[in-house]
Amino acid sequence: MTFFDRISADHLIGAHRGFRAFRPENTLSAFTASLGRCHFVEIDVQLTKDGIPVVFHDSTLKRTTDAPLVGKRLRLHSLRINAWTLDQLKELDAGSWFLTSDPFSTLASGLVSQETIQAQLPQKILTLTEMLNWAMRHKMPVNVEIKDQSGSKFDKNVVSIVLEVIQATATAPQILISSFNHDYLFQCKALAPHISVAVLQSDQHPPELIRYLQAIGASAYHPADAITDSALIRMLRAAGFGINVYTVNDKERQRQLFADGATAIITDFPELP
């Protein structure tokens, strides 16, 4: 049983960082709000100073936490997430920023109420273990995107650390691992061939794309919408690969991609058909 066997629908909706247009991204609040709106959730994984995988997008804490304030109290001068231990990260509120940033203007337009967000504060940064336990309870498939740890002391073993959590939470059949760092995907298939992986790409396609995906043992390709067209979709589907396009918020574009044969779209506004 793999990630794609778990989902029987044709046109899959992936909730990008949870329901990030309506809730603070990558938080329990966002994941809970995505229930009933998507076939799978996409999350980002970074490592803490003590090597614990946590669900977080940026390499620094500045945009989506109150770390500038809390850091002063804890006498921590760096805002890089890998300069903070898990205990220190658990002191942070990863939700309040949404009220002031309103990243998709959903507060300003009245689609989301301040009170709803406020009632769910603070939002704590989740460990990958906590998130996958949630996913197990809700039978929610998860696209785990491993963020590039190049240059950090955990670059060499981030993959085995993430795989250990997947093993410990018994969630392998509902996981699709993706990364812009394709070395991580090679490592995943070597260490855990039963877990599905997908190749993420934002700008240009790797040369000899089909052969490249085959060499990795990928199940799917995850291109940015900007580099996706119907010829690419047709080529991938004919070769037996899934093609899951990010980040597609425009409904008409979603329809077109599905009509062209895309297997999934990853969106900030998840909604089941």
In the complex, minimum distance from the CB of residue 84 to ligand G3P, in angstroms, rounded to a whole number? 20
- Residue among 149, 171, 178, 228 that touches ligand G3P (CB under 6 A): 178
Candidate ranges 47-55, 137-145, 203-211, 247-255; the one touching Mg ion (CB under 5 A): 137-145
CA distance 162 to 34: 23
Check residue 269 for interaction with ligand G3P (CB under 6 A). Answer: no
Please provide the size of the chain in residues: 273
Nearer to Mg ion, 88 or 184 (CB): 184
With tokens 């690419």, the residue in question is: 232
- Residue among 44, 91, 93, 268 that touches Mg ion (CB under 5 A): 44
Q: Are the C-beta atoms of 152 and 82 separated by less than 8 Å?
A: yes
CA distance 145 to 52: 15
CA distance 103 to 98: 7
- Burial grade of 252 (CB within 10 A; 0-12, 13-18, 19 or more): exposed
User: For the window 204-233, what string marks contact with ligand G3P as x by the rule CB under 6 A?
Assistant: ------------------x-----------
User: For the window 91-130, what string marks contact with ligand G3P as x by the rule CB under 6 A?
Assistant: ----------------------------------------
- Paired residues of 145 in beta bridges: 44, 178
Number of residues that bind ligand G3P (CB under 6 A): 10
Considering only residues 235-264, where is the footprint of Mg ion by CB under 5 A? none
Strands 196-201, 220-223: pairing is parallel
Nearest CA among 200, 212, 187 for reference residue 244: 200
- Residue among 25, 91, 93, 145 that touches Mg ion (CB under 5 A): 145
Check residue 41 for interaction with ligand G3P (CB under 6 A). Answer: no
Q: Are the C-beta atoms of 125 and 92 separated by less than 8 Å?
A: yes
Considering only residues 13-32, where is the footprint of ligand G3P by CB under 6 A? 16
Nearest CA among 164, 173, 266, 170 for reference residue 223: 266
Contacts with Mg ion, residue ranges (CB under 5 A): 44, 145
Contacts with ligand G3P, residue ranges (CB under 6 A): 16, 42, 44, 57, 145, 178, 200, 222, 246, 266
